[in-house]
Structure 1
Amino acid sequence: MTADSRAHSFNVAADQYAAGRPSYPPALFDFIEQFSGRPLAGSRVADVGAGTGIATALLRERGADVIGVEPGGAMAARFRAMLPDVPIVRGDGNALPLADASQDLITYAQSWQWTDTARSVPEALRVLLPGGALAIWWNTTAFDVPWIREQHQRIAHHCGVKPASRARPDDSNAIRLAGLSGLRVARRRVRWSRVVSLDKHLANIGSRSAFLVLAEDDRSAFLHEELRRLREMFPGEVVEETYVVDLLVATRP
């Protein structure tokens, strides 16, 4: 299964994605403002790979003048339904449909890995104003929580992928992998959690690209067994999901 097919798999589950995916903590946006030296309020921001608008909505709440950029038709339609007053254009980070020197900040929430950094970094630099910033982040697995670590291993095994041993590589590798080695870069990890029903928790799992490319009966069988297992551990049918947001912020000259 190619990375491109996984990237576009979200279109078949736009409603599930919107319903199940976690948000992001305020401390993440606090650090973006601190490192970039600019408040989000009044800043021109492009949220690339915006999906259903989870991060876009938070940026707007902070006062940003934000536009969404999203390649998927179903995801863009869901974005418009959730944020009818926020503009969205079709496109991706490899060829941004935005004017030169038009944005103070470009954000990638859970979406930088779908780009070709040989193209997406120059595109970001083209679109950013002098002194502008690029912010990239992921909600990653809290491996120190035993049940979360064990579930991660089950998911990886079922989907035929190698389970990770920690959230992200070390700082130097993360910067190199992100394609940002020529810029001023900072990295922060922000721990946070949310309490959700088991149904919402499973909707979140089922919205991941590694699941979406599987056959429907294969996905259903895993989620059914996972629900049985979780009900034994959490008879109240709610669970606290713990995340570590891994954030990279880069500023251009």
Structure 2
Amino acid sequence: MSASSRARSFDVAAAQYAANRPSYPPGLFDRVEESAGRRLAGARVADVGAGTGIATTLLRERGAEVIAVEPGEAMAAAFRRALPDVPIVRGDGNALPLAEASRDLIVYAQSWQWTDPGRSVPEALRVLRPDGALAIWWNTTAFDVPWLREQHNRIAHHCGVKPRSAVRPNDGDATRLAGLTGLRVARRLVRWSRTVSLDTHLANIGSRSAFLVLDEADRHAFLADERERLGEAFPDEWVEETYVVDLLVAARP
């Protein structure tokens, strides 16, 4: 399954995505400000791959002036319902529909992996002002939590993808993986957690691209098994999801 097909898969589950995906902790935006060397309040920000507006909402709460860029029709529609007063344009990071030198900050929340860095890095530099910055982040699995590590491995096996190593990459590897070689890059890790119902936890899993491209019966079978397994481990049917936000902030040297 190609990366582009997986990226487009979110459109079939926009409502599920909006209702169940995790948000981000306040400390993440503190680290963005520190690494970018500017406050978010008053900053002109583009949220690329904005989805249903999870990151946009938090950026606006920090006082940023945000425009969203989203390729998916259903995701963009959900965004407009949630944030009717925020401008959103259709497009992606490989060809940003934004003017040259028009943004102080460009952010990719959970979406950089769907771009071609050979195209998306030059596009970001085109749209950024001379003193602007690019912020990329992902909510990643806290591998030191045994049940989450074990679940991650089950999901990877079921979906036919390679499990991530429990040993995180070093800063140099992370920079190369992000396609940002040649820029001044700061990396920060922000740990946080949320407690959710088992239903929400399973719906969150089911909204991931690796699941959305599977046959519906296959998805349902895995989630039914996972419900039974976790129901035994968490009889009150509440689970604590622990995340480590992996943040990269890149600026011109």
Superposition TM-score, scaled by structure 1 size? 0.98
Amino acid at match of 1:85: D
**Which residue number in structure 1 is paired with residue 16 of structure 2?**
16
Q: Distance in 2 between matches of 1:166 and 1:9?
A: 27
Aligned partner of 1:7 in structure 2 is 7
Matches within 5 A, 1:46-195: 46-166=46-166, 168-195=168-195
**Cα separation, 1, equivalents of 2:98 and 2:166:** 36
Amino acid at match of 2:2: T
Q: Distance in 1 between matches of 2:146 and 2:168?
A: 18
Aligned to 1:206: 206
Gaps of 5+ in 2: none
SS in 1 for 2:63: coil
User: 1:169 Cα shift?
Assistant: 2.3
Deviations 1:111-162 (A, max 9, x none): 0000000000000000000110000000001110000000001101110111
Deviations 1:188-226 (A, max 9, x none): 001000000000000100000000000000000000110
- Counterpart for residue 239 of structure 1: 239
How many Å separate the matches in 1 of 2:93 and 2:79?
A: 18
Pairwise CA distance, 1:173 = 1.1
Does structure 2 conserve the Cα–Cα contact (< 8 Å) formed by 1:142 and 1:167?
A: no
Aligned equivalents of 2:202, 2:239: Cα separation in 1: 11
Cα shift at 1:167: 6.8
Partner of 1:248: 248
- The Cα of 1:168 is off from its aligned counterpart by 4.5
- 1:197 maps to amino acid: S
How does the TM-score come out when normalised to structure 2? 0.98
Distance 1:235 1:17 in 2: 25
Cα distance, 1:48 vs. partner?
A: 0.1
C-alpha RMSD of matched pairs (Å)? 0.9
Could you list the per-position Cα deviations for residues 47-105 of structure 1 after superposition, in whole angstroms to 9, with x for gaps in the alignment? 00000000010000000000110000000000001111111000000000000000000
Residue identity in the other structure for 1:242: T
Amino acid of the structure 2 residue aligned with 1:241: E
Q: Which amino acid aligns with 1:31?
A: R
What letter is aligned with 1:92?
Answer: D
Distance of 1:166 and 1:215 partners within structure 2: 29
Aligned length, in residue pairs: 253
SS at match of 1:194: strand
Structure 1: give runs of 5+ residues left out of the alignment.
none
| Deviation, structure 1 residue 166 | 2.6
Q: Contact 1:141 / 1:166 at 8 angstroms: preserved in 2?
A: no
- Is the contact between residue 42 and residue 63 of structure 1 (CA under 8 Å) also seen in structure 2? yes
- Residues of 2 paired with 1:102 and 1:237: CA distance? 47
Which residue is equivalent to 2:44?
44
Q: Structure 2 CA distance, aligned partners of 1:167 and 1:38? A: 32
Identity over aligned residues, as a percent? 79
Question: How much does 1:31 deviate?
Answer: 1.0
Once the two structures are overlaid, the 10-residue window that deviates more, 159-168 or 188-197, is 159-168
Q: Distance in 2 between matches of 1:115 and 1:158?
A: 25
Give secondary structure in 1 for the equivalent of 2:240: strand
Q: Runs in 1 of length 4+ with deviation above 4 angstroms?
A: none
Distance 1:166 1:71 in 2: 32
Tell me whether 181-190 or 91-100 shows the greater mean CA deviation: 181-190
